[in-house]
């Protein structure tokens, strides 16, 4: 595979909900290998929908999306095997509530990647240590705090050895004191060179590790710039307004 | 007690022929529930399909089997079908009739259970690369099953009693055997009170079993921060 080719390539994507409402308008965006791209914008701007299109959880009506050279939008592409290579973290964690932490981390490894039980378990233990959750391996998701659940969710995605990670508002459902523990894990991932596409309002995270910031509004990608430029000199009025609102205090 | 014969009552209470009838009732219940649940699951999944050629027949099936009495279905299967050369034994007819009928009701229960599993769970399962079958097998079905245990228990209770309808096509279950014994001493009241007690014992035992099953599948949710909802203000 050509290493200079983008890991995620979104080209001229359009998407409608029903007949009338267009959620994505001619969106194009690419994420290179090892790059961290933060996608922000007001609620309803289509950013969550866009990231769900990347691994085909949401279908698009028009345009193409490629991940590591494979076209997600091509009906002949086998989505399960493509998704197994791309980790995703959700706003509401979505751990499997009927499985304990260890089982949550092993199920994909065993059933999708066909790893043996002991290999999966060893991998899970290593990841639990990495996210600081070793002591909780036999608890059920319902017994954990939001921040703990989200760290497990990140570990579950990492257990599949993904080539890229998608984060869909990973801290939006968390109490303020739990946001840092999740962001710390994400920052270390970014610093290790993981390719990441992150939908978030955490501008501190963007400043710290993002390579680029993409600003969306009403289904359009309004800005796609280096982070320095986005924070210091946003070009569009809509981005200026957005920044003034979320950075005012 | 005037008109009531204790000796007759106790004799029937320990009657091996009746007891065997109760066991047959139990067997009919178990097998028609198992087969009905399997068929009901298939019907439910078909019904939820976006393809008309799957959801259409599934809807038609539940429409027919919920819309006509089991009694009529049994008579059609046992007495009517031989006219077309399809001859089934009493046991076969009973099991097929109960299963087909129960599957129609169970499919609706299963459908409600599957629909109650949050959409985000399906997305999460797909996102780690599971196939649609794996999503159902490992993520949706186990969670749906926990949700439908109470209505499922209701169905088991219902089928335990509904099996008595098969006595009409001479299926020798509890009720049929009770009726046969009338000829013996004409102690109708004693005999039928015994039959009622047998049914009551079976439904009561099931109730206890169901509670255990609920506890087992609720394990993962017990320790959760929020208490289960209960009516009435706590003081």
Pairwise pLDDT comparison (A44 vs B175), residue with the higher score: B175
Mean pLDDT of B144-164: 94
- pLDDT category at B74 given cuts 50, 70, 90 is very high
- Residue B16 covered by a domain: yes
CA dist., res. A199 & res. A194, Å (int): 15
Computed over every residue of chain A, the mean pLDDT equals: 92
Select from B121, B142, B225 the Cβ nearest to the Cβ of A94.
B121
Work out the percent of chain A whose per-residue pLDDT is above 70: 98
Task: Give the model's pLDDT for residue B225.
Answer: 44
Select from B128, B138, B220 the Cβ nearest to the Cβ of A97.
B220
Q: DSSP of chain B, one letter per residue?
A: -TT--HHHHHHHHT-HHHHHHHHHHHHHHHHHHHHHHHHHHHHHHHHT-S-HHHHHHHHHHHHHHHHS-HHHHHHIIIIIGGGGT----HHHHHHHHHHHHHHHHHHHHHHHHHHHS-HHHHHHHHHTT--HHHIIIIIIHHHHHHHHHHHHHHHHHHHHHHGGGGGGGT--SHHHHHHHHHHHH--HHHHHHHHHHHHHHHHHHHHHHHHHHHHHHHHHHHTSSSPPP-SS---
Task: Give the model's pLDDT for residue B229.
Answer: 58
Smallest Cα distance from B134 to chain A, Å: 8
CA dist., res. A15 & res. A145, Å (int): 35
The yes-or-no verdict on residue B230 having pLDDT over 70 is no
Do residues A141 and B118 make contact, with C-beta atoms less than 8 angstroms apart? Answer: no
Rg (CA), chain B: 22
Q: Among A75-79, A91-95, A125-129, B100-104, which stretch is predicted with the lowest mean pLDDT?
A: A75-79
Contact (CB<8Å) B146/A156: no
Chain B residues 206-235 with a CB less than 8 Å from chain A: 217, 219-221, 223-225
Domain at B107, CATH number: 1.10.3720.10
The b/e string for B109-141 (b: 16+ C-beta within 10 A; e otherwise) is bbbebbeebeeebbbbbbbbbbbeebbbebbbb
- Residue B234 covered by a domain: no
- Residue B84 covered by a domain: yes
**B141 interface with A at CB cutoff 8 Å:** no
CA dist., res. A93 & res. A71, Å (int): 27
Mean pLDDT of A35-41: 94
- pLDDT category at B224 given cuts 50, 70, 90 is low
- Residue B233 covered by a domain: no
The yes-or-no verdict on residue B75 having pLDDT over 90 is yes
Domain that holds residue B200: 6-228
How many independent structural domains does chain B possess? 1
Select from A83, A142, A143 the Cβ nearest to the Cβ of B127.
A83
Select from A85, A94, A112 the Cβ nearest to the Cβ of B124.
A94
Q: Is residue A192 within a helix (H) or strand (E), and if so which, with residue range?
A: none
Select from A85, A94, A111 the Cβ nearest to the Cβ of B130.
A111
**B128 interface with A at CB cutoff 8 Å:** yes
Task: Give the model's pLDDT for residue A142.
Answer: 92
- Residue B1 covered by a domain: no
The yes-or-no verdict on residue A211 having pLDDT over 50 is yes
Mean pLDDT of B199-222: 89
- Residue B235 covered by a domain: no
CB < 8 Å to B123, chain A: 52, 57, 90, 94
Contact (CB<8Å) B220/A99: yes
Computed over every residue of chain B, the mean pLDDT equals: 91
Contact (CB<8Å) A83/B134: no
- Residue B50 covered by a domain: yes
Chain B residues 31-90 with a CB less than 8 Å from chain A: none
Contact (CB<8Å) B129/A160: yes
Asked whether the CA dihedral B156, B158, B161, B165 is positive or negative, the reply is negative
pLDDT in tens, A171-202: 999 998 899 999 999 999 999 999 999 999 89
Task: Give the model's pLDDT for residue B234.
Answer: 57
- How big is chain B, counted in residues? 235
pLDDT in tens, B33-67: 999 999 999 999 999 999 999 999 999 999 999 99
Mean pLDDT of A32-60: 93
Mean pLDDT of A229-247: 87
- pLDDT category at B218 given cuts 50, 70, 90 is confident
Work out the percent of chain B whose per-residue pLDDT is above 70: 94
């Amino acid at each position: 595979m050509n290493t200079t080719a983008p890991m995620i390539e979104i080209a001229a994507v359009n998407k409608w909900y029903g007949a009338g409402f267009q959620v994505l308008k001619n969106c194009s965006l690419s994420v290179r290998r090892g790059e961290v791209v933060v996608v922000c914008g007001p609620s309803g701007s289509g950013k969550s929908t866009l990231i769900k299109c990347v691994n085909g959880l949401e279908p698009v009506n028009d345009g193409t999306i490629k991940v590591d050279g494979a076209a997600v939008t091509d009906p002949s592409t086998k989505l399960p095997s493509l998704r197994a290579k791309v980790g995703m973290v959700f706003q509401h964690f979505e751990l499997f509530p009927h499985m304990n932490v260890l089982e949550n981390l092993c199920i994909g490894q065993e059933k999708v990647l066909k790893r043996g039980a002991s290999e999966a378990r060893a991998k899970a233990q290593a990841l639990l240590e990495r996210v600081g959750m070793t002591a909780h391996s036999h608890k059920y998701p319902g017994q954990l705090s939001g921040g703990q659940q989200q760290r497990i969710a990140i570990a579950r995605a990492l257990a599949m050895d993904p080539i890229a990670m998608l984060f869909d508002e990973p801290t939006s459902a968390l109490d303020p004191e739990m946001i840092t523990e999740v962001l710390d894990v994400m920052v270390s991932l970014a610093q290790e060179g993981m390719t990441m596409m992150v939908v978030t309002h955490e501008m501190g995270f963007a400043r710290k590790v993002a390579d680029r910031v993409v600003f969306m509004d009403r289904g359009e990608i309004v800005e796609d710039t280096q982070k320095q430029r986005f924070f210091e000199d946003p070009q569009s009025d809509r981005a200026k307004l957005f920044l003034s609102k979320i950075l005012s205090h | 007690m005037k008109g009531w014969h204790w000796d007759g009552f106790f004799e029937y209470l320990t009657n091996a022929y009746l007891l065997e009838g109760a066991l047959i009732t139990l067997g009919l219940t178990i097998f028609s529930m198992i087969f009905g649940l399997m068929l009901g699951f298939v019907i439910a999944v078909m019904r939820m399909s976006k393809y008309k050629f799957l959801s259409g027949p599934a809807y038609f099936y539940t429409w027919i089997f919920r819309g006509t009495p089991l009694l009529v279905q049994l008579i059609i299967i046992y007495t009517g079908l031989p006219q077309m050369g399809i001859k089934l034994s009493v046991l076969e007819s009973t099991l097929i009739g109960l299963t087909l009928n129960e599957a129609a009701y169970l499919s609706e229960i299963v459908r409600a259970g599957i629909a109650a599993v949050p959409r985000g769970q399906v997305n999460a399962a797909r996102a780690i690369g599971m196939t649609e079958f794996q999503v159902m097998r490992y993520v949706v079905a186990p969670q749906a099953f926990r949700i439908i245990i109470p209505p499922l228990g209701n169905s088991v209770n219902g089928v335990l009693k509904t099996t008595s309808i098969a006595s009409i096509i001479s299926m020798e279950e509890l009720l049929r055997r009770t009726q046969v014994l009338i000829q013996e001493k004409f102690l109708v009241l004693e005999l039928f009170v015994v039959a009622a007690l047998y049914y009551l014992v079976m439904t009561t035992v099931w109730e206890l079993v169901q509670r255990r099953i609920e506890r087992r599948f609720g394990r993962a949710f017990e320790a959760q921060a929020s208490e289960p909802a209960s009516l009435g203000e706590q003081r």
